[in-house]
Amino acid sequence: MSICPKRRTSKARRNQRRSANFKMSAITLVKCTKCGELMMPHRVCKACGSYNKVQVVEAV
């Protein structure tokens, strides 16, 4: 037999608990290893078009 709650959890208390993980976070930026421009990690650099020191696309 499982334990049953004595009182029903109100909407406000339930939503406060759920809202603890719902927040904006700053975008993580790293320097490109080839040109030094700030970029998102694990993405192709928009400035030089390289990924992991390898030229993948033409620079715009």
Q: Output the pLDDT for position 20.
A: 82
pLDDT for the residue 21:
82
pTM beyond 0.75: no
User: Bigger pLDDT: 24 or 59?
Assistant: 24
- For residue 39, the model assigns a pLDDT of 96
Q: Write down the pLDDT at residue 22.
A: 81
Give the C-alpha separation, 3 to 17, whole Å: 20
- Domain edges within the chain: 11-55
Tens digit of each residue's pLDDT (9 = 90 or more) over 1-57:
788 999 999 999 999 998 988 888 899 999 999 999 999 999 999 999 999 989 999
